[in-house]
Amino acid sequence: MRKISIFGATGSIGQSTIDLIRRAPDAYDVVALTGGHNIARLSADAIALQADLAVTAHDDRLEDLRAALAGSGIEAAAGQAALIEAATRPADWIMSAIVGVAGLAPGLKALEQGATLALANKESLVCAGQLLLQTAARHRARLLPVDSEHSAVFQGLVGEDIAAVERIIITASGGAFRDWPLEDLKEASLAQASSHPNWDMGQRITIDSASMFNKALEVIETREYFGVEPEQIEVLVHPESLVHALVGFNDGALMAHLGAADMRHAIGYALHWPERRDLPVARLDLAAIGQLNFRAPDLARYPALAQARDVMQRRGLMGAAFNAAKERALDHFIADRIKFTDMAEITARVLEQIETQSGLIDSAMTLDNVTQIDHIARKLADVAAAQNTG
């Protein structure tokens, strides 16, 4: 039986992972499941999957978790240290599906024990790509992409030489405001930004899809994971979300990956890799679909895309600063303190300021330095947000 753990088990990706695991209960021995405030879901899944350990990220929820697991024999734990400890528990395959930079430290620990890390948490690669890849190499651990675009590219590269790759094209639905008049974006509400045309995902990534901060992170993720140059990465708006990515080779061939907009495909591919196994995802009927549409992204609508280019050029700890500023700006938007379009203004201001204010930016990529730059960028984002409100 394969030993597996799921970080962020109660979220959208976590639940899709559990759905796949539950279909073959005899194949998996579940070690640890982690979640946040949703103790009912965490405990119910831990019991159903007979996990050894359940961890909530919040110290003050430990008693609730203990009570929910009473009599089950499942260990309960809470807080940051417990999350890290859970990542050191021996496992063959670990899903990294915490949202935000919070997924980085457990992910590194998982790699240090040599586990295969299925990485949905793109923020880890954006903040500390080199650190993750070096850690994986040092411990002979495998890092597999779970983001749908990156899984698609990864599949497109099977049997290919990366040196023959000319370009990588990742698609974007365009999010909730793809067809809105530009001047209306300022007044976009939280509810409107939280509904995605094609994918059913967690709230934060859904809003990041409307602003294309998600695609900005994914461009950086592509650069870090596949080691290609920024100029080789293109973003293409594709409203149907059926072509997830395309790989362009030096002979002019363009290999596209198509599939239903269902994350169980990318999760299942990472779970069964290097094999392909039957997955419970819808099969596409292209004749019924009839047409696929593509267009270039409008950079005025999606300023985050240009910011990603700037971040890639400056490298070092800039990805961590960008991600942190984005996470804080998103917190402020969700709390209704700023407008939708303020988010990109805040990240732009933080990117401007970070170099002058911090001698850290060119420092070595260690977890400590990433954490420090993350704190600095969050503070700058808070100041910028206060200016936008005032």
Contact residues: ligand NAD, CB under 6 A: 8-14, 35-36, 57, 97-100, 102, 120-123, 147-148, 199, 201-202, 204-205, 263
Give the Cα separation of 104 and 124 in Å (integer). 5
The yes or no reply on residue 147 touching Mg ion (CB under 5 A) is yes
CB of 222 to Mg ion, least distance (A): 10
Q: Which is nearer to ligand NAD, 176 or 361 (CB)?
A: 176
Backbone angles phi, psi at 2, to 5 degrees: -85, 130
Q: Which is nearer to Mg ion, 196 or 349 (CB)?
A: 196
The option from ligand NAD, Mg ion, none interacting with 205 (CB < 5 to 8 A, set by class) reads ligand NAD
The option from ligand NAD, Mg ion, none interacting with 129 (CB < 5 to 8 A, set by class) reads none
Burial class (CB in 10 A: 0-12, 13-18, 19+), 217: buried
CB of 178 to Mg ion, least distance (A): 16
Give the Cα separation of 292 and 314 in Å (integer). 36
Residue 74 and residue 66 in contact, taking contact as beta carbons nearer than 8 Å: no
CB of 312 to ligand NAD, least distance (A): 18
Q: Which is nearer to ligand NAD, 106 or 303 (CB)?
A: 106
DSSP string of 132-191?
HHHHHHHTT--EEE-SHHHHHHHHHTTT--GGGEEEEEEEE---TTTTS-GGGGGG--HH
Pairing relationship of beta strands 243-249 and 254-258 according to DSSP bridges: antiparallel
Closest residue to ligand NAD using C-beta atoms: 11
Of 106, 117, 123, 155, the C-alpha closest to 139 is 117
The yes or no reply on residue 123 touching Mg ion (CB under 5 A) is no
The option from Mg ion, ligand NAD, none interacting with 121 (CB < 5 to 8 A, set by class) reads ligand NAD
Residue 262 and residue 19 in contact, taking contact as beta carbons nearer than 8 Å: no
Of 157, 113, 151, the C-alpha closest to 264 is 151
CB of 155 to ligand NAD, least distance (A): 15
The yes or no reply on residue 45 touching Mg ion (CB under 5 A) is no
CB of 175 to ligand NAD, least distance (A): 13
Q: Residue 254, SS3?
A: strand
Q: Which is nearer to ligand NAD, 19 or 166 (CB)?
A: 19
Backbone angles phi, psi at 297, to 5 degrees: -70, 145
Region of 34-42, 131-139, 147-155, 191-199 interacting with Mg ion (CB under 5 A): 147-155
CB of 240 to ligand NAD, least distance (A): 16
Count of CB atoms situated within 10 Å of the CB of 330 = 24
The option from Mg ion, ligand NAD, none interacting with 265 (CB < 5 to 8 A, set by class) reads none
Binding residues for Mg ion, rule: CB under 5 A, are: 147-149
